Amino acid sequence: MLVLGIESSCDETGVALYDTRRGLLAHALHSQIDMHAAYGGVVPELASRDHIRRALPLTQQVLSQADKTLQEIEGIAYTQGPGLAGALLVGTSIAQSLAMALNVPSIGVHHLEGHLLAPMLEEHPPAFPFVALLVSGGHSQLMRVDGIGQYELLGDTLDDAAGEAFDKTAKLLGLGYPGGPAVSQQADLGTAHFQLPRPMLNSPDLNFSFSGLKTAVLTLVKSQPTLDAETIQNIAWEFQESVTEILVHKCLKALKQTKLRRLVVSGGVGANKRLRSRLNEAASKRGISVNYPRLEFCTDNGAMIAFAGAMRLHAMQPAKQDYSFSIRPRW
Ligand code: KG4
Ligand code: ZN
């Protein structure tokens, strides 16, 4: 089954073609980062308008990359939520209109299921069951995954997501948007000098809390006579150590609790180099395998939506054809 996937939940328009027999055929992405950077964060109305401009040219691009025609598409997957309402509406309406015109089934995909399954697009996909750490701008979750659609939530953030903490810390340090890569870059130049808390590191559950860490960064920033380059680098270093230590610790705890020996990491924060090296080190000591999506599939992309949609459409053949649409911004 040849499935077109469209992602438009936030500030990236991603389109991809996934074939259930041959795998990922093509994917294309337009990031709006430069457009929103001037405002220090995503402006929803600008995001929607840009998705409108990009979605069809990107669709044409993936079709020509894969040497396919529109008429060869056998199913369409789109991000139905969670995300920005206007942005979701663009992808959803384009996907449903195309599906109706081509008379093929379509499916709304949960954006997080897309992230969760992104490592399955790699050459050596992890076998089920596994523990998944999903760390993005909006979520920090630990899950037990037994198969496609078989997810058990083990832990969640009580307040801010890990990516959100990176973004807010970046703002406090004057590093702009998007915060994760900027903080990480500064952290690479820093060293151990300050001390920040490790919220909920030793809590008996698998939950996270990152808002107190952000407040601690704010207090630390305010206590500094000047925010020079070295201070910024050292605060970024300590902040990154705190987040990665908490994430690694809770992953190990989840693996212990579930007695599983496979860990899968996905979402934008999964691109963080320090997190990867600490996780790899902790896992190899314990004989645990860790899978990550390639870096470009950690952050938002169309390939993960095409894949998740293809798995679901394929499993429910003959799929119901329903071209009415509703988005689920807070799904
Ligand atoms: O998965 P994603 O692209 O979008 C959401 O679904 O939220 O994740 C974006 C988040 C942002 O908060 C961004 O700052 C963070 O992932 N991020 C990073 C890195 N790259 C992206 N955080 C830490 N280190 C990185 N290298
Ligand atoms: Zn995402």
Find out whether the beta carbon of 297 lies less than 6 Å from any atom of ligand 1.
no
Do residues 31 and 12 touch, judged by C-beta distance below 8 A? yes
The confidence score (pLDDT) of residue 40 equals 84
Residue 135 falls inside a structural domain:
yes
The confidence score (pLDDT) of residue 157 equals 97
* Nearest Cα to Cα of residue 92 among 35, 137, 33, 52: 52
Residue 331 falls inside a structural domain:
no
pLDDT in tens, 229-269: 999 999 999 999 999 999 999 999 999 999 999 999 999 99
Residue 76 falls inside a structural domain:
yes
> Which residues have beta carbons under 5 A from ligand 2 (an ion)?
136, 300
The confidence score (pLDDT) of residue 286 equals 97
Residues 231 and 311 in one domain: no
Find out whether the beta carbon of 293 lies less than 6 Å from any atom of ligand 1.
no
Structure tokens at 320: 């119901």
Measure 21 CA to ligand 1 centroid, in angstroms.
Answer: 31
| Neighbouring C-beta atoms of residue 179, cutoff 10 Å | 24
Residue 55 falls inside a structural domain:
yes
* Nearest Cα to Cα of residue 217 among 232, 228, 205, 206: 232
Residues 175 and 193 in one domain: yes
Q: Please state the residue numbers annotated as binding site for Fe cation.
A: 111, 115, 300
Residues 148 and 97 in one domain: no
Residues 13 and 107 in one domain: yes
- What pTM was computed for the model? 0.94
pLDDT tens, position by position, for the chain (331 residues)?
A: 999 999 999 999 999 999 999 999 999 999 999 999 888 889 999 999 999 999 999 999 999 999 999 999 999 999 999 999 999 999 999 999 999 999 999 999 999 999 999 999 999 999 999 999 999 999 999 999 999 999 999 999 999 999 999 999 999 999 988 899 999 999 999 999 999 999 999 999 999 999 999 999 999 999 999 999 999 999 999 999 999 999 999 999 999 999 999 999 999 999 999 999 999 999 999 999 999 999 999 999 999 999 999 999 998 877 678 898 899 999 9
Distance between CA 237 and CA 185 in Å, rounded? 9
| DSSP letters for 220-285 | HHHH-S---HHHHHHHHHHHHHHHHHHHHHHHHHHHHHHT--EEEEESGGGG-HHHHHHHHHHHHH
Find out whether the beta carbon of 105 lies less than 6 Å from any atom of ligand 1.
no
ipTM, two decimals, is 0.98
Residue 79 falls inside a structural domain:
yes
Residues 286 and 156 in one domain: yes
Residue 329 falls inside a structural domain:
no
Find out whether the beta carbon of 167 lies less than 6 Å from any atom of ligand 1.
yes
Domain residue limits at 175: 127-292
Distance between CA 80 and CA 292 in Å, rounded? 24
* Nearest Cα to Cα of residue 95 among 107, 112, 83, 81: 107
* Nearest Cα to Cα of residue 21 among 239, 310, 241: 310
The confidence score (pLDDT) of residue 322 equals 87
Find out whether the beta carbon of 166 lies less than 6 Å from any atom of ligand 1.
yes
Residues 78 and 156 in one domain: no
Measure 151 CA to ligand 2 centroid, in angstroms.
Answer: 18
The confidence score (pLDDT) of residue 166 equals 97
**Number of domains making up the chain:** 2
The confidence score (pLDDT) of residue 324 equals 86
Q: Please state the residue numbers annotated as binding site.
A: 111, 115, 134-138, 167, 180, 272, 300
**CA distances from residue 281 to 66, 257, 284 in whole angstroms, order as listed:** 38, 20, 5
Enumerate residues 6+ apart whose C-beta is below 8 A from 255: 131, 261, 263, 286, 288
Instruction: Kindly report the CATH number assigned to the domain that includes residue 27.
Output: 3.30.420.40
Q: What percent of the chain has pLDDT over 70?
A: 99
Shortest-distance atom of ligand 1 to CA 271:
26
Among 117, 136, 160, name the best residue to mutate to test ligand 1's pocket (greatest count of ligand atoms within 8 A of Cβ): 136
Find out whether the beta carbon of 14 lies less than 6 Å from any atom of ligand 1.
no
Measure 300 CA to ligand 2 centroid, in angstroms.
Answer: 5
Structure tokens at 49: 């308008």
Distance between CA 248 and CA 252 in Å, rounded? 6
Residues 113 and 8 in one domain: yes
The confidence score (pLDDT) of residue 52 equals 98
Distance between CA 4 and CA 16 in Å, rounded? 6
Residues 203 and 258 in one domain: yes
Residue 330 falls inside a structural domain:
no
Residues 261 and 311 in one domain: no
Residue 122 falls inside a structural domain:
no
**Which residue's CA lies nearest to atom 8 of ligand 1?**
268
- Mean pLDDT over each residue of the chain, to the nearest integer: 96
Residues 24 and 52 in one domain: yes
Residues 155 and 102 in one domain: no
Do residues 53 and 45 touch, judged by C-beta distance below 8 A? no
Find out whether the beta carbon of 176 lies less than 6 Å from any atom of ligand 1.
no
| Neighbouring C-beta atoms of residue 68, cutoff 10 Å | 17
Do residues 323 and 99 touch, judged by C-beta distance below 8 A? yes
Residues 64 and 150 in one domain: no
Find out whether the beta carbon of 91 lies less than 6 Å from any atom of ligand 1.
no
